Every structure is written in structure tokens, then in C-alpha cells.
Amino acid sequence: MTSSPRRRLLVAAAVLPFVPGIALAQTCGRQTAPQTPGPFFKPDSPVKSVLFEKGQKSVLLVVSGAVLSAQCRPVANALLDFWHADEFGEYDNKGFRFRGHQFTDAQGRWRLETILPGEYPGRARHIHAKVQAPGKRILTTQLYFPAALGHHDDGLYRRDLEMRMPKAGEGSFDFVIDA
């Protein structure tokens, strides 16, 4: 999966300087699909990219990727706010367990260390995200897991929102947003 043409183009776009006039936009032009935030979003999450807590017996999950503009340019300092259910499929609605926000680095990269969220009735396993380039619109969406990690019998599931996960516990996804 990592060597798919789309992935190679995105990687190339991230390391090459942007040259106006070159038609990269056609390859990255499709913005990441929006999805409902669902009922469990909470504002004011802490700045935190490691949601995994010491001593947890749950399965460690590391997800990383880039935030790109529709012109395939990496978006530095983009806000990413993640929230997801715990290993039992429950959200922390009192505190901020498995909730945190972070910003992309100068290359538009981000990384989240957390646990494999549990499934809950009616939903495929997923991670919620809000992504925003500085001063631009917020994209609210959800990331899904490969079928090996759960069912896809969920009307909200979309293949284009599925993380690449060549190894169990290590996922990647590139967001393409209004920037």
C-alpha cells in the first residue's frame, strides 16, 4: 500500500519545492471527505500527541501522516484535534482521556500515539479528527481501520478514509484540506 502511485506523489510533493505552474493539483486536488463529529466531541482538548498512558494494557497504536493543501503543499502549523473511544468503546465525556490536539511541524507532519479504540454498537472502529490550516475552515472527519481490525458494516465508513496500516499498530493517513 505504501508504494501506491498516490502515496509516492504525496511523498514527492512533500520533499520537492513548490513550483507554480506544475499541475500537481490534479493529483492531490481531492480534499479529505468531511464526516459528522458525532455526539462526543468536546472543545478545549489539551495539547497532547501521546494519548497512551503508562501502565495501560491496551494495544499501542501509532498513527502518523501529513497535512497537505489541495495543491499538494505541506501545511505547517495546522491544528489537528483527535478524539476516540477507549478500549471498551466508551468516550470520556467528563475528562480528556483519548482527546488531544497538536500542530503539524514545518513539513506538515503529525504523529499520534494512542491505543486501539474499541468498537461500539453500530460503528466501525474509528478515530475522530478536526483539521485546520491557520486561518482556514475546519475539516471534521473520521479515520477508519482496515477490515482485519473490525467490521465495516457502518453507513459512515468510507474506503478513502481508511488508514494505511501495513503493520498492525502502525497507521498512516494524509489529510488534504482547504489551506
User: Closest separation between CB of residue 39 and Fe ion, Å?
Assistant: 8
Q: Does 118 bind Fe ion (CB under 5 A)?
A: no
Closer residue to Fe ion (CB): 163 or 179: 163
User: Closest separation between CB of residue 173 and Fe ion, Å?
Assistant: 16
Q: How many CB atoms lie within 10 A of CB 36?
A: 11
Q: Please give the Cα distance from 6 to 3 (Å, whole number).
A: 8
User: Closest separation between CB of residue 92 and Fe ion, Å?
Assistant: 12
Q: Is 161 helix (H, G, I), strand (E, B) or coil?
A: helix
Closer residue to Fe ion (CB): 68 or 161: 161
- Judged by CB under 5 A, which of 37, 38, 89, 118 binds Fe ion? 38
Element (DSSP H or E) covering residue 140: strand 138-144
What burial class does residue 176 get, using C-beta atoms within 10 Å of its C-beta: 0-12 exposed, 13-18 middle, 19+ buried? buried
- Which stretch in 23-31, 32-40, 151-159, 170-178 sits in contact with Fe ion by CB under 5 A? 32-40
Closer residue to Fe ion (CB): 66 or 127: 127
Positions 137 through 156 that interact with Fe ion (CB under 5 A): none
Transcribe 6-46 into DSSP letters: HHHHHHHHHHSPP-TTS-THHHH-SPPPP----TT--SS--
Q: Which residue in the shown chain puts its C-beta closest to Fe ion? A: 38
Closer residue to Fe ion (CB): 34 or 38: 38
Q: Please give the Cα distance from 123 to 156 (Å, whole number).
A: 8
Q: Residue numbers of the site for Fe ion (CB under 5 A)?
A: 38
